[in-house]
Amino acid sequence: MLKILLLIGSGSFIGGVSRFLASRYIQNHFISAFPYGTFVVNVLGCFLIGLIYGLSEKGDVINAEWRMFLTVGFCGGFTTFSTFANENISLLRDGDFFLFALYTSLSVFLGLMAVYFGNLVIKIF
């Protein structure tokens, strides 16, 4: 159990640092009220988790420990629902109702599609 917790913790650390750096980089290149950084990171994380679960369904490609490290750890640290929710509240407070609706709907729809396509990519190859 301790080994699994350390794997998840180290994956979360790497994912969280990666999220911070990627989100900051993206947001600095798209100056806008729309939270592009979190949006891109969350959709990319969904695609990655689709790839990872697709690989784990293929058999012996990824063992259970690596799956926990990559999904619960890395992807869990890389994506962020709390920041997504906070950015939506900020958009509402600022009266940006269109951006709020766009961000929320695109995040949910594209997140689901990204998981699906990540899994599909693995099944095709």
User: How do residues 15-45 score in pLDDT, each as one tens digit?
Assistant: 999 999 999 999 999 989 999 999 999 999 9
**Tens-place pLDDT, residues 56-79:** 988 788 999 999 999 999 999 999
Nearest to 77 by CA among 32, 25, 6, 10: 10
Over the Cα atoms of the chain, what is R_g? 16
Helix (H) or strand (E) holding 83: helix 81-93
Burial class from Cβ neighbours inside 10 Å (0-12, 13-18, 19+) for residue 20 reads middle
pTM: 0.95
In whole angstroms, how far apart are CA 96 and each of 34, 67, 108, 109? 9, 39, 18, 20
